[in-house]
Chain A
Amino acid sequence: MAEALEIMGVSASPGVGVGPVHLAADVTAEALVPGDSVAAEGEKLRQAVATAHAELGALADRSDEESAGILDFQIEMLLDPALVEMAEDRIVAGDGAALAWVGALNEYIAGIEEAPDEQLRARAVDIVDIRNRVLSALTGRTLEDFAPGSVFVGKDLEPSLFLQHDWTAGGGIVLFEGSVSSHVAMLARSRSVPMLVSTGRFEVAAGARLLVDATGGRVVVAPEDQQILEVRSRTAEARPSAPSRTGGVIETFDGIAIRLSAIVNDPSELKSINPSYVAGIGLMRTEFLGNVFDQERHYDIYRQALDWAGDAPVIVRMLDLGGDKMELGVGAKESEAFLGRRGIRLLLALPEIARLQARALLRAAAHGNLGVLLPMITVPEELDAMRVIFEEESTTLGRKGVQTRMPEIGMMVEVPAAALMLDRFSRSDFFSFGTNDLAQYLAAAARDDQSVAALYDAATPAVCRVIAQAVVLAETMKKPIGICGEMASDPQHIPALMTAGLRHFSVTPNRLADIRSTIGGMYSDGRAVAEMK
């Protein structure tokens, strides 16, 4: 057996993978046939661009939103006549279409690779992807996929090749260069494919067995079975109790599990979210369901969400009317928009609406893991009053023989008076921060008023301090606490929120993949892994 060789790299996506090496072929423009006439070569190139465009479009159609967004960038580049024009200058000078294309693109790519900014340099491989795809259309060579379960080894990996490949059989990625900020790194993190970058060039035979220990930042060529077992058991030990829905749980680099749930604004969004990628629904709004007086509509929608989620929790927020949500015409008058009768205050003032929604929730709760979130709670008495409504409605329904179950009832933490006094809310089953309201109340700056927008944004440190204090209170009470405010959907705020101690984030569907990859690249105290090397 060959002697094991160990190479260090920078982890771009944690995890462990073992498989035979697939060596990436270097794309070169050598041996490309010289062209015919200038016009014919130009036409050939335009045809090849159209073919590449169609291929990427088809790939985007069968990809999730994050991946489609990455391909969208490539498609937009291909649609830009400037790209073909760069090559046409070379065709006029006598090059064939393929040589002109590769020459022009290489020059452009070299410009991007010299960018002062790592984020921009990491986009160079996206343009390499375009270059190769058009070149393969020109030369009739197909872009090679590789065997499932292999470890890809090369200078860098193009996003469209990653997306074409079947990663369900395992394997991994080892890049001589590459970047933790590249699109492929984002994709690898969101699909839990182990990936190492910056190993420097090393010799390895195609087909050789490779161990990618991306958690430990190293790759082992021709590892002993014993080594693989050791790495696997070490990684398993570091893992906290195995969650049943791994897709919704991301591990930080130091092995802390972070739960990621979806925010659902409208039931139609469920179609676009893969339930196995989230730990359930952290917030489902109900203000936008249409007629709030239609109990069956409420019930149907909650059932739909529960069926979609399987065993995972679905947290439904009771009608949060008033303030900026005036669609139903039952909100408070304008002067009270944000500081008047809204949220729980309005629900308690309009008990018929609250009772109707409670009935729908009680019935739906019998069919899954339902939680109820109360908006705008300021004092414990409001929570108690709503509990009484649920208990009374449960008794009434029970008397009629209707099947019900009492859901867990938690509260939004969005009023500073509640956030500071969380220990008084011992009857709340769980807590969830609503940071938009919290921020505007802490800064006394309305979020829909452009003239004070800067103040609203600048209040972030104050919001984080209040969150950190409330997290400590919730932990002493042994109550779950998470966040469903907009801050959690912004990668820029994730480090501060992790530092504040949050471990459960609810995120808008189109930000799920980004937040997942952001968290996957961090330590639990909020430091980025890339800064640590």
Chain B
Amino acid sequence: MPRWEATEAVDPHGYCQAEIEVTHGFGLHARPSVTFTRLAKSFPCTIEIDVNDSHVWLNGKSIVKIMGARIRRGSIMKIRARGLRAAEAIHALKALVQRDFDEEKKHGRSA
């Protein structure tokens, strides 16, 4: 099964935006949400997410909002950012979702 093609673009309102499918086994719950919001908070720009085309943009730095969005595996997440280092933030967050929130790889080296 091919993954949902992640797209990245800058829209006319100055938002950098990406769209990606959440493939992590447990969706965006406890630990993945911590990882996501911590990374989001490391950027100075605004970061917002929209889940499954709800047209409600939630603060991507708020774990309370992200948990409340009840994001499951298979959800399509749009991430948008505006401001300093926005493109970089989108790129990093998208990569984190693609890497399944680094859940399995904290120790890196392989056997």
| Bound: A44/B71 CA distance, A | 33
The reply on B46 being an interface residue by CB < 8 A is no
- Nearest A residue to B30 by beta-carbon distance? A73
Which of A120, A486, A509 is within 8 Å of B104, CB to CB?
A: A486
Contact between chains at B3 and A454 (CB < 8 Å): yes
| Bound: A120/B51 CA distance, A | 16
Contact between chains at B72 and A116 (CB < 8 Å): yes
Which of A111, A126, A484, A509 is within 8 Å of B111, CB to CB?
A: A484
Question: From residue A216, how far is it (CB to closest CB) to chain B in Å?
Answer: 29
Task: Using A435-B111, A485-B111, A486-B111 as known contacts, say yes or no to A108 and B64 having CB atoms under 8 A apart.
Answer: yes
Residues in A neighbouring B59, C-beta threshold 8 A: 82
Which of B2, B37, B106 is within 8 Å of A76, CB to CB?
A: B37
Encoded as 1 (CB less than 8 Å from any A CB) or 0, chain B from 17 to 47 comes to: 0000000011101110110011000000000
Interface size on A, residues (CB 8 A): 48
Encoded as 1 (CB less than 8 Å from any A CB) or 0, chain B from 61 to 81 comes to: 011110110101000000000
The reply on A183 being an interface residue by CB < 8 A is yes
Encoded as 1 (CB less than 8 Å from any B CB) or 0, chain A from 91 to 117 comes to: 000000000000000001001100111
Residues in B neighbouring A484, C-beta threshold 8 A: 111
Which of A80, A81, A117, A509 is within 8 Å of B27, CB to CB?
A: A117
The reply on B55 being an interface residue by CB < 8 A is no
| Bound: A111/B26 CA distance, A | 18
Contact between chains at B104 and A76 (CB < 8 Å): no
Which of A73, A116, A265 is within 8 Å of B109, CB to CB?
A: A265
- Nearest B residue to A264 by beta-carbon distance? B107
The reply on B7 being an interface residue by CB < 8 A is no
Residues in B neighbouring A120, C-beta threshold 8 A: 27, 29, 67, 70, 72
Within 8 A of A (CB), among B57-111: 59, 62-65, 67-68, 70, 72, 104, 106-111
| Bound: A183/B31 CA distance, A | 11
The reply on A123 being an interface residue by CB < 8 A is yes
| Bound: A124/B1 CA distance, A | 32
Contact between chains at A510 and B27 (CB < 8 Å): no
The reply on A191 being an interface residue by CB < 8 A is no
Q: Is the interface of B mostly helix, strand, loop or mixed?
A: loop
Residues in B neighbouring A265, C-beta threshold 8 A: 107-109
Contact between chains at B70 and A112 (CB < 8 Å): yes
Task: Using A70-B30, A73-B34, A511-B104 as known contacts, say yes or no to A263 and B72 having CB atoms under 8 A apart.
Answer: no
Task: Using A73-B31, A510-B106 as known contacts, say yes or no to A83 and B111 having CB atoms under 8 A apart.
Answer: no
Q: Is the interface of A mostly helix, strand, loop or mixed?
A: helix
| Bound: A435/B65 CA distance, A | 39
Within 8 A of B (CB), among A502-517: 506, 508-511
Contact between chains at B110 and A77 (CB < 8 Å): no
| Bound: A111/B67 CA distance, A | 10
- Nearest B residue to A373 by beta-carbon distance? B111
Contact between chains at B31 and A69 (CB < 8 Å): yes
- Nearest B residue to A458 by beta-carbon distance? B1
Which of B2, B3, B29, B111 is within 8 Å of A119, CB to CB?
A: B29
Contact between chains at B33 and A82 (CB < 8 Å): no
Within 8 A of B (CB), among A404-435: 412, 414, 434-435
Residues in A neighbouring B72, C-beta threshold 8 A: 116-117, 120
Residues in A neighbouring B26, C-beta threshold 8 A: 119
| Bound: A283/B104 CA distance, A | 18
Residues in A neighbouring B107, C-beta threshold 8 A: 263, 265, 489, 508-511
Question: From residue B78, how far is it (CB to closest CB) to chain A in Å?
Answer: 20
- Nearest A residue to B105 by beta-carbon distance? A486
A-B contacts, 5 listed (Cβ < 8 Å): A111-B68, A116-B70, A123-B30, A263-B107, A263-B111
Q: Which 3 A-B pairs have the closest CB atoms?
A: A82-B64, A508-B107, A436-B110
